[in-house]
A and B are shown apart, each in its own frame.
Chain A
């Protein structure tokens, strides 16, 4: 009996052990990771039943004009201005949607919840959100579903049952691969790298970091992770944190990953001001406009992102499809206007596409 139990424990350990281990890099979460193949061979997608929620007795909204509120993590930054533009574009194209964006000026869970709560009371038909915390936002989103409101997330997910669909801008392992490969191409396989992130618990960033750690271990095992620092999504703090990293590690620091659209340009600025252009690589997620000066000066070679305007556009299209009843649980794809058919993944997520790497050659063609 004892032997059997032991065997069971060992086999269970073998099955889950490597996947459930806490991220090797601080700031990653402890969910299972799924690093892509080093040469980019796509892995087959596993079929999964719909795991999103559904609104209680929603009125028939098919073809009718609907009011939609978009509550991003925070307002007033380039990234969410771009998603907001995409939402407006889609709303204008659809013609039967009245959409507006409103939200806190800081990425604060409590304020975001209050905003959502107020809009639920005011009686909107649809909610688009980008969560500051996947669990904390769940009660208020469930309340929206109970009131028959259509709820679609984009950019940062909530737990699945608290919303209907989530538009996934890029799979986490795809972004992680693009970031780590770009970094390895610049600093070689053995450089020391540090990460500037928003907070260790921000869902997207934590997921990316965990996937980056897993992918680096698999494909660039000698890349040396030094430290992850938190910088909220604050310009000054990001700059100070990056400067501290540069001073602290000196020549050991070969590259900085910026995990937010605020941290990346701030890190590039810190490297520029420290006179370390070309010595310390900056690779990260950022909007092209913020990065143009650094890319044009050759201080930054690759910026990884998806197109946030497309992301907002897709989210609005998905919400309209849900309200019209054309997107039902179990669907495998959805029509998203000019973006064509988007694929459904992970049960209740809609994939926007592969990440995009902006370089000196192509960055001038983008304006957001």
Chain B
């Protein structure tokens, strides 16, 4: 039964996360405070949003390496639309979101229409979008956003950072779509066996196109929040984001070969990584040490998952 097998990885991960939280809380009394946890939520929102979309992408057996570049491009376009073209900021935000979504749609088009493997297609757009961002911005950053705009990245609603509400809402929507709808089942089917899915009457290309477009939208949304959080726009924003995102998704138990993965797993993976980064820093471990621990945890979690799989299969 697939469902129970899926639960297995999430259970391990859940237990691992709880252990990590307990250990980290005992290492530093500043870790398990509401203020710190909410602040960490703020810091992980951008990666989190993109990771939700990336879960869909990886479940289909694909990958999207261009998310960081889409974030950079959207951020730059937001600045350029507002400052250089003189559009009102809300209009610039909507337009920038649309452009980021379009960039994702282009990824999907290249992958479905021209049958380019996602790895190659998005590797190309990773360079393309980043290059566009550099070119359009003429390497100058846009600053001086109005005070109200900082709400998206720095504001709070009912004591909880604004972007955490966005992330929470997006998580629920993503979990429902992937877990409970025909679209979600089509996503799994494509990842498990694309040819079979095609012959079962699933509109494979349409589903994929939606998913890559969604990844573009999530990256664009993350861009707006990121710009608001750091109050400036630079063309190198989001560099390396794809690696953090893929790490979270894979740690969450999504199979890189497709067909397997859940939103809950991704969320747990993200929380575990963020908790380790923050908790270790608070307990006095330096940055380089933290990276090593995260690498070890990633290997450990994946080995554990594989071990369980083998036991069940063998």
Interface residues of A (CB under 8 A from B): 26-27, 29-30, 75-76, 100, 102-106, 108-110, 113-115, 117-119, 121-123, 133, 135-139, 199-201, 230
Given contacts A135-B231, A139-B154, contact A117 B139 (CB under 8 A): no
Contacts of B26 in A (CB 8 A): none
The residue on A at minimum CB distance from B230 is A136
Contacts of B278 in A (CB 8 A): 118, 121
A199 and B139 contact, CB distance less than 8 A: yes
Bound Cα distance from A139 to B268, whole angstroms: 28
A201 and B234 contact, CB distance less than 8 A: yes
Given contacts A114-B277, A139-B154, A199-B236, contact A121 B229 (CB under 8 A): no
Contacts of A123 in B (CB 8 A): 30
B50 within 8 A of A: no
CB distance from B69 to the nearest CB of A (A): 15
Contacts of A133 in B (CB 8 A): 141, 230, 232, 234
CB distance from A299 to the nearest CB of B (A): 30
B84 within 8 A of A: no
B288 and A105 contact, CB distance less than 8 A: yes
Given contacts A108-B239, A133-B234, A201-B140, contact A122 B282 (CB under 8 A): yes
Contacts of B235 in A (CB 8 A): 199-201
A109 and B28 contact, CB distance less than 8 A: no
Given contacts A75-B287, A102-B287, A200-B139, contact A121 B232 (CB under 8 A): no
CB distance from A130 to the nearest CB of B (A): 15
Given contacts A105-B288, A105-B291, A106-B240, contact A119 B281 (CB under 8 A): yes
Bound Cα distance from A257 to B33, whole angstroms: 49
Bound Cα distance from A136 to B79, whole angstroms: 14
Contacts of A201 in B (CB 8 A): 139-141, 234-236
B43 within 8 A of A: yes
Contacts of A119 in B (CB 8 A): 281
Type the 1/0 row for B261-290, where 1 means its CB is closer than 8 Å to any CB of A: 000000000000000011001101011100
B36 within 8 A of A: yes
CB distance from A124 to the nearest CB of B (A): 11
CB distance from B75 to the nearest CB of A (A): 11
Bound Cα distance from A123 to B31, whole angstroms: 11
Given contacts A122-B282, A200-B235, 17 further A-B contacts (CB under 8 A): A102-B287, A106-B240, A109-B237, A110-B226, A110-B230, A114-B277, A115-B287, A122-B284, A123-B30, A133-B141, A135-B141, A136-B231, A139-B150, A139-B231, A199-B139, A199-B235, A201-B235
Given contacts A108-B239, A113-B230, A136-B231, contact A102 B36 (CB under 8 A): no
Contacts of B39 in A (CB 8 A): 117, 121
How many of chain B's residues touch chain A, expressed as a range? 20 to 34
B5 within 8 A of A: no
Q: Residue A115 contacts which of B226, B232, B281 (CB distance < 8 angstroms)? A: B281
A135 and B36 contact, CB distance less than 8 A: no
B143 within 8 A of A: yes
CB distance from B143 to the nearest CB of A (A): 5
B277 and A29 contact, CB distance less than 8 A: no
Given contacts A102-B286, A135-B232, A136-B230, contact A122 B291 (CB under 8 A): no
The residue on B at minimum CB distance from A119 is B281
The residue on B at minimum CB distance from A122 is B282
Contacts of A109 in B (CB 8 A): 230, 234, 236-237
Bound Cα distance from A104 to B139, whole angstroms: 23
A-B pairs, top 8 by smallest CB distance, nearest first, are A200-B139, A135-B232, A136-B230, A118-B281, A102-B286, A122-B282, A136-B232, A135-B143
Contacts of B240 in A (CB 8 A): 106, 108
Contacts of B288 in A (CB 8 A): 75-76, 105
Contacts of B134 in A (CB 8 A): 200, 230
A104 and B287 contact, CB distance less than 8 A: yes
B281 and A122 contact, CB distance less than 8 A: yes
Most chain A CB atoms below 10 A, which of B30, B139, B141, B150: B139
A118 and B282 contact, CB distance less than 8 A: yes
Interface residues of B in 219-266 (CB under 8 A from A): 226, 229-232, 234-237, 239-240
Contacts of B141 in A (CB 8 A): 133, 135, 201
Bound Cα distance from A230 to B287, whole angstroms: 26
Type the 1/0 row for B197-232, where 1 means its CB is closer than 8 Å to any CB of A: 000000000000000000000000000001001111
Most chain A CB atoms below 10 A, which of B36, B230, B239: B230
Bound Cα distance from A104 to B288, whole angstroms: 8
CB distance from B133 to the nearest CB of A (A): 11
Q: Residue A105 contacts which of B230, B234, B287 (CB distance < 8 angstroms)? A: B287
Contacts of B35 in A (CB 8 A): 121
Contacts of B286 in A (CB 8 A): 100, 102
B287 and A29 contact, CB distance less than 8 A: no
CB distance from B301 to the nearest CB of A (A): 22
Contacts of A100 in B (CB 8 A): 286
Bound Cα distance from A117 to B43, whole angstroms: 9
Bound Cα distance from A119 to B291, whole angstroms: 17
Type the 1/0 row for B19-41, where 1 means its CB is closer than 8 Å to any CB of A: 00000000010100001100100
The residue on B at minimum CB distance from A140 is B230
Contacts of B138 in A (CB 8 A): 200
Bound Cα distance from A138 to B145, whole angstroms: 13
The residue on A at minimum CB distance from B284 is A122
Most chain B CB atoms below 10 A, which of A103, A104, A133, A230: A133
Pairs A–B under 8 Å by Cβ, sample size 30: A26-B139, A27-B139, A75-B287, A76-B288, A102-B287, A103-B287, A104-B287, A109-B230, A109-B234, A117-B43, A118-B278, A118-B282, A119-B281, A121-B30, A122-B28, A122-B30, A122-B281, A122-B282, A133-B232, A135-B231, A135-B232, A136-B234, A139-B154, A139-B229, A139-B231, A199-B139, A200-B138, A200-B235, A201-B141, A201-B235
